[in-house]
Chain A
Amino acid sequence: MTKAQRDIIIFAAFCLAVLATPLLLQGNYLLNVFVFIGINTMLAVALNLLLGFAGQISLGHAAFFGLGAYISGILTTRYAIEPWMAMVAAALCVGVIAFIIGFPILKLKGHYLAMATLGFGIIVYIIFNETVDWTGGPSGMSGIPNLALGPLIFDSDMTNYYLIWVFTLLTMLLSINLADSRIGRALRAIHDSEVAARVMGVNVRLLKVQIFTVSALISALAGSLYAHTMTFIAPASFGFNFSVELVTMVIIGGLGSIYGSFLGAAILTLLPEFLRVFHDFDIIIYGLLLIVMTMFMPGGLIGGFEALAAAIKRRKEA
């Protein structure tokens, strides 16, 4: 079996599991949690393209998510634009913004890039809070219309689940395709040795900006979906904490692993449900998780599983 064939089988099995999950969770509030897992997976995969593949950090991805949500929200509630159109407009707008800020920002490396993206995230967060006439300020914006496909309106947990997961699965599939392609290899090459990538003809500067743009665009799409399924948005969902949470998801799951991003998103979305007692301490728990993971499992959960499988195989052979 070739690697490509194995990839298809694993993805098909994953799709089946995703499609079957609601049948097992009928009437359970967890279905709503799984909608969030879908949105967070989409965001984590998007960030993984930048962080896991190209090795460029962003501590401001919650801002792209928020911009997508607010542009969709404002266009539909204030200008009565059709939700699907608003979604496309939001994604394109955010893509253009990311492309423009990408050129100066991605010249920076390491801590400086982290600081610049962090700054961008904070600025956008402040705009959400202060432009009250547009966004409703800290108390948020409500009455955002649901998406609809003919007579089918996406307004229940069940319909939202399938809506979100269609987009999430598509994002995952495209990212898996990208990983094993000319562009995916070039991105991973940048991660390992920027100078060698340049010498081999990779236009490092442009490719970084391109993947940053794609990553932001997918995040904005997730933001629009979020706005239209929740029908209510407030700045608190798009702050610095959430940017850090996204980075944590990617690292816990495994840098560069698409299924890892799903695992990370699932764990960080489910965890608060089971740790309600620790409510206000969740950011501390994430921090601890991040420290422990980077110290003992730098490859993330997927990397850890792979190492474990290899160890078992060696033991069997010995």
Chain B
Amino acid sequence: MLSLTKITKKFGGVTALEDVSFNVEGCTITGVIGPNGAGKTTLFNIATGLYGQDAGNVYLGEQNVSRMPPERLVCLGMVRTFQNVELFGHMTVLENVMVGLHTKSKSGIFSCAFKLPGQRREEKTIRSRALKWLEYTGIADLAEITAENLPFGKGRLLEIARALASEPRIILMDEPAAGLNSRETMSLAELIKKIKGSGITVVLVEHDMELVMDVCDTVVVLNLGRKLAEGTPREIQENPEVIAAYLGDG
């Protein structure tokens, strides 16, 4: 589904990523873990087109999507969420998800300003589909609330609902459990499994080991910009190199 081949990225003299390669199989959950500064978020930013890499390629299915901007990647079925939750704060929860349907609709400025019949029909579809995604993530009762007034945990769910609304094939989540309490993390785990169950591939960067070991089919470990290990959660837990990296044994 998604393959990264020999990704290298330097910031000035600092090498953030070096020769990182791995494959993500369709309909699986892959976790990318590693100590702080290992390059996890940088890898995500490259895969989703926010940064350009210095070397290496990103393939989505068979297609080379290296350096493609995010607004095109979402049309090809790849979408992401952010570590710091990037919501449209002044818009309602429902409107946020409606923006998620941007690529699934096509009315332009002219037909929107004149409310042409096609645009009205499309607007109805957008609204009902957005509501469906709010129900899917369990926040339909918050539809009319302004997003900046949401509690953090609900904001996370909203961001996921908005991403799902674009009907992706693959969703990349950057630390979805950060800042969540244990009950919220448990329901997040259920949601992630449900997303996989509906045929969407999931990749997550995560610090919460319990969550990673619970939901992931494959785990990739990064350390100091290199891939340290890759395997099932059990293999990773028993890998001496990984244990050393996490315990700070240089």
Which residues of A are at the interface with B, using a C-beta cutoff of 8 A?
Answer: 174-175, 177-178, 181-186, 188-189, 191-193, 195-204, 210-211, 214, 256
In whole angstroms, how far apart are the Cα atoms of A198 and B102 in the complex? 10
Specify the chain B residue showing the minimal Cβ separation from A299. Answer: B90
Residue with the greatest number of chain A CB neighbours at <10 A, chosen from B86, B88, B114: B88
Residues of A within 8 A of B231 (CB): none
Q: Are the CB atoms of A196 and B109 closer together than 8 Å?
A: no
Which of these binds chain A: B3-11, B73-81, B188-196, B238-246? B73-81
In whole angstroms, how far apart are the Cα atoms of A241 and B243 in the complex? 66
Specify the chain B residue showing the minimal Cβ separation from A173. Answer: B113
In whole angstroms, how far apart are the Cα atoms of A209 and B177 in the complex? 37
User: A182 to nearest B CB, angstroms?
Assistant: 5
Q: Are the CB atoms of B95 and A177 closer together than 8 Å?
A: no
- 7 A–B contact pairs at CB < 8 A? A182-B119, A182-B126, A183-B107, A192-B91, A200-B166, A201-B166, A256-B90
| Residues 123-160 of B contacting A (Cβ, < 8 Å) | 123, 126
Q: Which of A182, A197, A199 contacts B112 (CB 8 A)?
A: A182
Q: Are the CB atoms of B89 and A192 closer together than 8 Å?
A: yes
In whole angstroms, how far apart are the Cα atoms of A183 and B111 in the complex? 10
In whole angstroms, how far apart are the Cα atoms of A195 and B126 in the complex? 22
Q: Is the interface of A mostly helix, strand, loop or mixed?
A: helix
In whole angstroms, how far apart are the Cα atoms of A189 and B92 in the complex? 11
In whole angstroms, how far apart are the Cα atoms of A198 and B89 in the complex? 16
Q: Which 3 A-B pairs have the closest CB atoms?
A: A181-B112, A201-B103, A196-B86
Q: Are the CB atoms of A185 and B109 closer together than 8 Å?
A: no
Q: Taking the complex as formed, is B52 at the interface, i.e. its CB lies under 8 A from any CB of chain A?
A: no
Residues of B within 8 A of A181 (CB): 107, 112-113, 115, 119, 123
Residues of A within 8 A of B86 (CB): 193, 195-196, 199
A183 in contact with B99 given A193-B88, A200-B166 (CB within 8 Å): no
Residues of B within 8 A of A178 (CB): 109, 112-113
Q: Which of B48, B114, B122 contacts A182 (CB 8 A)?
A: B122
Residue with the greatest number of chain B CB neighbours at <10 A, chosen from A174, A182, A183, A185: A182
In whole angstroms, how far apart are the Cα atoms of A202 and B101 in the complex? 10
Q: Are the CB atoms of B88 and A188 closer together than 8 Å?
A: yes
In whole angstroms, how far apart are the Cα atoms of A204 and B88 in the complex? 14
Residues of A within 8 A of B91 (CB): 185, 188-189, 192
A183 in contact with B115 given A200-B74, A200-B162, A200-B166 (CB within 8 Å): no
User: A79 to nearest B CB, angstroms?
Assistant: 30
A202 in contact with B107 given A175-B113, A177-B112, A181-B119 (CB within 8 Å): no
Q: Are the CB atoms of B113 and A182 closer together than 8 Å?
A: no
Q: Which of B89, B114, B122 contacts A177 (CB 8 A)?
A: B114
Q: Are the CB atoms of A185 and B95 closer together than 8 Å?
A: yes
Q: Are the CB atoms of A182 and B70 closer together than 8 Å?
A: no
A191 in contact with B102 given A200-B166, A201-B75, A214-B109 (CB within 8 Å): no
Residues of A within 8 A of B69 (CB): 198
Q: Are the CB atoms of B87 and A193 closer together than 8 Å?
A: yes
User: A12 to nearest B CB, angstroms?
Assistant: 15
Residues of A within 8 A of B48 (CB): 199
In whole angstroms, how far apart are the Cα atoms of A185 and B126 in the complex? 12
Q: Are the CB atoms of B113 and A202 closer together than 8 Å?
A: no
Residues of A within 8 A of B105 (CB): 182
Q: Taking the complex as formed, is B108 at the interface, i.e. its CB lies under 8 A from any CB of chain A?
A: yes
User: B147 to nearest A CB, angstroms?
Assistant: 8
User: B76 to nearest A CB, angstroms?
Assistant: 10
Q: Are the CB atoms of A198 and B88 closer together than 8 Å?
A: no
Q: Taking the complex as formed, is B50 at the interface, i.e. its CB lies under 8 A from any CB of chain A?
A: yes
User: A196 to nearest B CB, angstroms?
Assistant: 4
In whole angstroms, how far apart are the Cα atoms of A198 and B80 in the complex? 11
Residues of B within 8 A of A188 (CB): 88, 90-91, 95
In whole angstroms, how far apart are the Cα atoms of A189 and B79 in the complex? 16
Residues of B within 8 A of A201 (CB): 71, 74-75, 102-103, 166
A199 in contact with B87 given A182-B105, A185-B98, A185-B99 (CB within 8 Å): no
Q: Are the CB atoms of B71 and A186 closer together than 8 Å?
A: no
In whole angstroms, how far apart are the Cα atoms of A196 and B83 in the complex? 12
Q: Taking the complex as formed, is B59 at the interface, i.e. its CB lies under 8 A from any CB of chain A?
A: no
Q: A182-B102, A189-B99 are in contact. List 15 more A-B contacts (CB 8 A).
A: A183-B108, A188-B88, A188-B90, A188-B95, A192-B87, A192-B91, A193-B86, A195-B50, A198-B69, A199-B80, A199-B163, A200-B162, A202-B102, A210-B109, A256-B90
Residues of A within 8 A of B112 (CB): 177-178, 181-184
Residues of A within 8 A of B123 (CB): 181-182
Q: Are the CB atoms of A186 and B107 closer together than 8 Å?
A: no
Residues of B within 8 A of A174 (CB): 113-114
In whole angstroms, how far apart are the Cα atoms of A42 and B183 in the complex? 52
User: A303 to nearest B CB, angstroms?
Assistant: 11
In whole angstroms, how far apart are the Cα atoms of A11 and B94 in the complex? 24
Q: Taking the complex as formed, is B100 at the interface, i.e. its CB lies under 8 A from any CB of chain A?
A: yes
Specify the chain B residue showing the minimal Cβ separation from A214. Answer: B109
Q: Are the CB atoms of B109 and A200 closer together than 8 Å?
A: no
Q: Are the CB atoms of A202 and B108 closer together than 8 Å?
A: no
User: A153 to nearest B CB, angstroms?
Assistant: 30
